[in-house]
Amino acid sequence: MAMIQPRYSKPEFARRGDELYERSIRPVVEAGNPGKFVAIDIETGAYEVDADELIASDRLVARSPNAQIWLMRIGSRYVRRFGTRHRVGGYDHGEGDGRSPGADSPDDPRLDRPGA
């Protein structure tokens, strides 16, 4: 299968995708689907929802082979998150400054570090 080339600049792609999501898709998909992915064709407004982003994208491409796909995670501003994450008592809470000790802290007694 040939790779689909983007027909829009990155800012225009994002603007169209966000606008479609907020205006017509979010009100329909948000309840009952937190954390799932929505793949949106920014030209037609067609979309697919699934817990797996590749499945959602593949289903959309099956319906519209030339889809210009914008991917969103329902209930989040991010599809993926990079960087530090806040941990409290070893549990990852996914936000914060990343300075709270967790399971990977040198002060965590659960770590078995010979000679430490």
Residue 49 has pLDDT above 50, yes or no: yes
Binned at pLDDT 50, 70 and 90, residue 105 comes out as very low
Q: Which residues contact 53 (CB under 8 A, 6 or more apart)?
A: 37, 39, 71, 79
More confident residue, 29 or 103: 29
Domain boundaries, the chain: 10-73
pLDDT > 70? residue 110:
no
Q: How far is CA 75 from CA 10, 14, 42, 58, 72, in A?
A: 22, 17, 19, 21, 9
Task: Tell me the per-residue pLDDT of 77-102, one tens digit each, with 9 for 90 and over.
Answer: 778 766 666 555 554 444 444 443 44
